[in-house]
Amino acid sequence: MAPKKILFLISSLGPGGAERQTIDLVNRMDRNRFAVSLAYFVRNETLKPLLREDRLTGLYCLNKRMRFDPGALMRLKTIVQNTKPDIVVCVNLYPVLYVHLLRPLCGLRCKVVVVMHSTVMPDRYNDILVRLIYRPLLNRSEHVIFVCRNQMDYWTSQYRVNTKINSYIYNGIDTQFFDFQMTTEERNLLRAFLGILEEESVICICASLSKVKRHIDLIDAGSLLRKQGFQLKILIVGDGPERKEIEQHITYKMMDNAVILVGFQQDVRPFVVISDIFALCSSTETFSIAILEAMAMGKAIVAPATGGMPEQVLNGQNGLLFPMKNVDALAESLAKLLKNNRAESMGDLSRKIVNERFAVDKMVTCYERLLEDLV
């Protein structure tokens, strides 16, 4: 039997959880059963080196230049007519409109699957777009995959996505890749290079420097902890549009000697490994890849109780959850772990949980089974 043809559509190959999950998926799908191709709309290719291009039957950039680009639509039409996919997998909402427009334009008969990585819309305008345009298109698709149960329940209740075409598949990571070890000497050298003293605890955050990630909350919490006598450093891994504002806030809070910005790193593992606690402070988060990676490296997690966080972090077991946007509660959660020396034992449980529930091979198997059932 010939392999089923699967075309993945994604906004870009830039840094992000949805992009990394998609790359892991297309790299690992069984080529005896699936012929996989990938098209992306915007030429942001930061993560392109992670792609196994030799395993793809096609890789295409649609060169989108405006919010809705008729030229990109026509280029996608040509690709679809030439490749004749059995299934088109749309990653998040943006590709959905293009694919459903192609159905009448070129008699597209393939199945449409949508993988949703987002939960709460960023503003009223996007909420209206979902209700008026994207919800009908989601319900006309053959299947909608969410990345956690809480997200699926939210979209079902908030946007009335048809429950008959819904399921959720947890994001997965390469647990072997993130079973990353450093010798004591290597750890000490990196800490010394970053200016971290031996007696200082390290709180790490890996996230794009954007408003929604609320780095300033962690800086404020760190300031409170230092006033309480805790010796610590905050390690910020990532880059983005809010870097200048974050740098200004660090100076305003007199935390210049306590916060280290290392910028975007292709390999975040050494920075997570030398840390004691991994934290996120986002105002919205669906199912964090960064948290899964930190769990695989044996880290205790402090995160807001939003989205799929309670499905990743078992409160009081492998980490602590706090009410989002609550700096005092964030500081209190961090203090509990630092005071009681619970971070190491919680980190051991984190590693066990991610190996049992969130391994990439388990994720790929679930996707392969669902796609085969559809065709």
pLDDT of residue 82: 92
Count other Cβ atoms within 10 Å, centred on residue 212: 14
Write the pLDDT tens digit of every residue in 24-54.
Answer: 999 999 999 999 999 999 999 989 999 999 9
pLDDT of residue 142: 96
pLDDT of residue 309: 94
Domain residue spans in the chain? 4-172+359-374, 184-357
Write the pLDDT tens digit of every residue in 281-291.
Answer: 999 889 999 99
pLDDT of residue 329: 97
pLDDT of residue 273: 96
What CATH architecture applies to the domain 184-357? 3-Layer(aba) Sandwich (3.40)
State the Cα torsion 96-43-14-370 to the nearest 10°.
40
> Are 112 and 138 a contacting pair, CB within 8 Å?
no
Low-confidence ranges of the chain (pLDDT < 70): none
Q: What's this model's pTM, rounded to 2 decimal places?
A: 0.89
Helices (H), the chain: 17-28, 70-83, 94-106, 124-129, 135-140, 149-159, 184-193, 215-227, 243-252, 269-273, 289-296, 309-312, 327-340, 343-357, 360-374
Who's near 164: CB < 8 A, 6+ residues apart? none
What's the rounded Cα separation, in Å, for the pair 366 and 63?
31
pLDDT of residue 357: 95
pLDDT of residue 215: 97
pLDDT of residue 290: 93
CATH topology assigned to domain 4-172+359-374: Rossmann fold (3.40.50)
Q: Considering only CA atoms, which of 308, 310, 313 is closest in space to residue 337?
A: 313
Count other Cβ atoms within 10 Å, centred on residue 346: 24
How many H-runs (helices) and E-runs (strands) does the chain carry? Answer: 15, 13
pLDDT of residue 122: 79
